Structure 1
Amino acid sequence: MQLRRADVLRGARELIDAEGLDGLTMRKLGAQLKVQAGALYWHFPSKQALLDAIADDLVATVADAPPAGPWDQRIVTMAHRLRRALLSMRDGARLVAETFTTEPNTLLAGRTGMQILIDAGMQPDKAAWTMLALSHYIVGHTIEEQAPCDDVPAKLEASAAKYGADLVAELGAAVTADPDRRFDFGLGLMIDGIRRYL
């Protein structure tokens, strides 16, 4: 059976899910797909090109225009779509953070968000900056969610003895809070800021 581009993308995502982003090599991917690593280069000229394509594939659902409604609800819908997409794959947020792709899905998602803000009255350059700031928040928050943090309780306990229980308790409550609630809170702050700007 002939190896297709979609097979390479699917295999790469499976390998990242199994071994993490650092575990993806062209040699391992070739072995998983039962081809020589060189065969992968027919579809992607480099590992970076493959990573860019995976990132673009990951955000495909974000590019769809959200349902009609007020601008803020539409931007919130897009933000939740992006976070869900990033969480759908191990190290998804880190992958997107480490790529700069101008593939169709990524461009369309950015343009869709910009157009929502432009229609709300924002100048095009400020709409682009706003979408960039929002994506930085979403990707950064999701990187934290996906980062291994098994030793957080032990680190907090050690810090409490060193810096004081009250300070560390407040920090501990923040970092161990439900990530959905933390995400919505931060997103709400950003939306409120955009609303004031408009």
Structure 2
Amino acid sequence: MNATPASARNDKAAVVAAAMRVLAESGLPGLSMRRIADELDVQVSALYWHFPNKQALLAAVSAQIVGAAPAATEMDAIARGLRDRLLAHQDGAEIVSSSLALGRLDLPARTALVTAAREAGLTDAGAEVAANTIVHYVIGYTFHEQQWLHASVVGAADASVDLVPDRAGERRDDFDAGLAMVVAGVRASVAVN
């Protein structure tokens, strides 16, 4: 192992990049500080030079997963973009959900949703509720979807049976239908306010 301190060889971005590689290879169960340190060829203690604890590192990974502010301005497009970001990373919804729950992540999509809801005519308080509702719908649906996909890969679920089968047993994706209902509810609440 190189005697140069990890702080001189790796910056925060390098640690997050290593964590993203481990996540892609092993998912959240394999995303340990030991595995990330091995990826960087450093001692585990070197990671704490940049991150005080694993939750801080997971928050940085979450920020990498969700990316910058979305270009979309419509609520449904913002929500679909967030889902796409979460699905692009193994266990993305679970990691982001944890960071949000602990107050360690400012979600750019949520900020964009607040703006879109205000522009739709909601009050500031109503826009906050609308944004939170849409974010929770997207993360919850995607978390469920990723759990099912993982279970089917490891043989714990029948891969031939869809996450949400219709009455004939055909595959379907209810995400868009559910999102349309949520967004319609948000728009309908403008009349109430």
* Same fold, judged at TM 0.5 (above): yes
Q: 1:187 matched to which residue of 2?
A: 179
| Structure 2 counterpart of 1:83 | 83
Cα offset for 1:120?
1.8
Deviation digits for residues 63-84 of structure 1, max 9, x if unmatched? Answer: 13425xxxxxx11111111001
Structure 1 position 64 matched with structure 2 position 56: no
Deviation by residue 1:147-194 (Cα, 9 ceiling, x = unmatched): 13435449x8xxxxxxxxxxxxxx743786333xx1111111111111
What's the secondary structure of 2:9's corresponding residue? Answer: coil
Q: Which residue of 3, 7, 15 maps to 2:10?
A: 3
Question: 1:183, 1:176 → 2: CA distance?
Answer: 15
Q: Deviations over 1:98-119 (max 9, x none)?
A: 1224445x2x432221122112
Aligned match of 1:48: 55
- How many Å separate the matches in 1 of 2:22 and 2:120? 42
1:31 deviation in Å? Answer: 0.7
Counterparts of residues 137-148 of structure 1 (less than 5 Å)? 137-147=137-147, 148=150
Contact 2:120 / 2:187 at 8 angstroms: preserved in 1?
Answer: no
SS for the counterpart of 1:89 is coil
3-state SS of paired residue (1:99)? helix
Unpaired runs of 5+ in structure 2? 1-7
1:11-22 residue pairs with structure 2 within 5 A?
A: 11-22=18-29
Structure 2 counterpart of 1:64, which letter? Answer: P
| Structure 1, unpaired ranges of 5+ | 68-73, 157-170
Farther off after superposition, 119-128 or 45-54 = 119-128
| Structure-2 residue corresponding to 1:177 | 171
Query: What pairs with 1:156-167 in structure 2 (closer than 5 Å)?
Result: none
For the residue of structure 1 that corresponds to 2:140, the secondary structure is helix
CA contact (8 A) 2:166 2:172 kept: no
Q: Cα RMSD over matched residues?
A: 2.3
For the Cα contact (< 8 Å) 2:79–2:109, is it kept in 1?
Answer: no
1:59–1:176 distance in 2 versus 1, CA, 3 Å:
farther
Q: Distance in 2 between matches of 1:4 and 1:86?
A: 25
Q: What is the rounded CA distance, in whole Å, between the counterparts of 1:75 and 1:153 in structure 2?
A: 34
TM-score (norm 1): 0.78
Give the aligned length: 173
Q: TM-score, normalised by structure 2?
A: 0.80
